[in-house]
Amino acid sequence: MRAEVDSLYHLTYNDEECDNIGVRWIVRDMKVAFVYGAYPPIRDGGAGFLKNLAYHLVNLGVEVSVITTSKIAANYSVESQDKIQVLPVIEDWSLSLANFNQLRKALDCAKPDVAHTIFPSSTWGGSYHLPMLIKFARSAPLVTTLYGFAFRRGSMGNRLAIMTLLHVSDRLSSDNDFVIGIIKRYLPYLKGRLRYLPSGSNIPNEAMNRYTGLELRHRYNLDKDSFYVCHFGYLDRTRGIEVLFNAVKLLRDKGRDVRVIMIGGSPYHGNKEYFAKLSKLITQLNLDPYVVWTGFCSEEQVAHYFLCSNACVLPFRKNTTGRSSLPAALSFGLPVVTTSKEKSIFSLRDHENVLLVPPGDVNRLENAIYELIDDSELRKRLGRAAYELWETEFSWDSIARRALKVYLEVAR
């Protein structure tokens, strides 16, 4: 499955091909309508992805509309809107004739050349069904970005929605290697519609030009000489954080002064049971003095803690490429240790732009961190390669250009 998944990374037009099919002429007249159950100020991963992608598409000359929940109507009056037309009109995302009519009227207003939806929705959970009707509400080509399937814990309506979207969408995009692999293995007749579309980071990296790590370590009362590895993101069992703590314990037992900064992870923004398990493990390993829990952070504070760190460790148990934590770390030029069963996954290459270790392997993770501690040249080289990878692959401008190529495939 891995070879098939990696091959998807190359299924896109290059810049010369885009010029040949008349991108400059097409984009000026292209209209894209996003349909999704959340949009800022709602905190939702899909909402952040949508907003950033929409703004960068506008910068490329695309006219963008967002059809979203009526919960944010007060935030988007007609007078306050400029580049993006926000239509906060959908009151309920479950299946009903009234909801379908709201969707149809909004699409008629937007008049898109391409519609783009995201599935599933963490905001609406089991009642997020309306996107399956987009193609029936308007005949424009449909692109669906898949974060997962919602089969195991989703409602029957969710399952119906995903199966409908899989079969009526003109293109299916994802950065989740598990999702892509499942479609290619079990629904091979759909693989021609699959496209790799990365997620970016919502954390600005301008602080790199204003502060040094030592200045910020002093500000946040961190030891100036220790080797700090950071982890960034919400807490859940798929992140493999216990593997990180066990690896740090092995390193400290060998005399290495390694410490951990848990950026953003707290029981109030994640899984409370998992946090309790991790806290107990830290105590059992005698790591309490060496683990910093930042709790919820502003974007500026997240940037500061990245700059305090020597490396970022993301020991995911699955879905390595589908996490915003990864592009966030890359954007600060940090050497990154993350997981894959192979030597490469999409654009990630072991010892070229990241270090890759098998999921759940404490000893291999320990060795990778040890390698970074002992080899300053490796840290510098991987840091430079990480930033270059972010610029070319995970920056929002790059993601918008890749999305635009997908739209052009179905709109021409």
300-336, pLDDT tens digit by residue? 999 999 999 999 999 999 888 888 999 999 999 999 9
Rounded Cα distance, 412 and 408, in Å: 6
pLDDT in tens, 89-104: 999 999 999 999 999 9
pLDDT in tens, 46-68: 899 999 999 999 999 999 999 99
The yes or no reply on domain 206-393 and CATH 3.40.50.2000 is yes
Kindly tell me if the per-residue pLDDT of 20 is higher than 80: no
Rounded Cα distance, 257 and 238, in Å: 27
Paired residues of 65 in beta bridges: 33, 85
- The reported pLDDT for the residue numbered 268 is 56
Domain layout of the chain by residue ranges = 2-200+395-411, 206-393
The yes or no reply on domain 2-200+395-411 and CATH 3.40.50.2000 is yes
Paired residues of 313 in beta bridges: 337
Q: How many residues does the chain have?
A: 412
The answer to whether 2-200+395-411 and 206-393 have equal CATH topology is yes
Paired residues of 146 in beta bridges: 119
Q: Kindly report the pTM of this predicted structure.
A: 0.87
Burial label for 367, CB within 10 Å (0-12, 13-18, 19+), is middle
